[in-house]
Structure 1
Amino acid sequence: MRTEGTTERVLRLLGLLQHRSQWTATELADELDVTPRSVRRDVERLRRLGYPVEAAPGIGGGYRLGAGTRLPPLLLDADEAAATALSLRLAAGGTVAGVGEAALRALTKLDQVLPPRLRAEVRALYDATGAVVGPHSTIDADLLVRLARACRDSVRVRFRYTARSGDERERTAEPVRMVSVGMHWYLMAFDVGRDGWRTFRLDRMSEVEASTWRFTPRDHPDPVEYVQQSVTTSPYAFVARVRLRAAAEDVRALVPATAGRVEEEADGWCVLISGGTELDWIAMHVASLGYDAEILEPPELREAAARLAQRLSRMAGTGD
Structure 2
Amino acid sequence: MSDRLGSVMDEPRRRDLPERMLRLLGLLQSRRTWSAAELAQRLHVTERTVRRDIERLRTLDYAVTGTTGTSGGYRLAAGSSIPPLSLEDEEVVAVAVGLAMASRGGISGLEDASLTALVKLEQIFPARLRPQLAALSRATSAAPGNDAAQVDPATLSVLAACRRDHEIVRFDYRDRTGRRSARRVEPHSLVTLHGLWYLVAYDHDREDWRIFRIDRINAPLRTHRPAERRDLPTTDAVSFVMRSLAAASYRYTAQLTVDLSAADVRAGIFGPIPGAIDDIGPGRCRIRLTAESPEMVTQYIALIAALGAEFILDAPPDITDRLHQLGTRLVRTRSHD
Length-normalised TM-score, structure 1: 0.49
Length-normalised TM-score, structure 2: 0.47
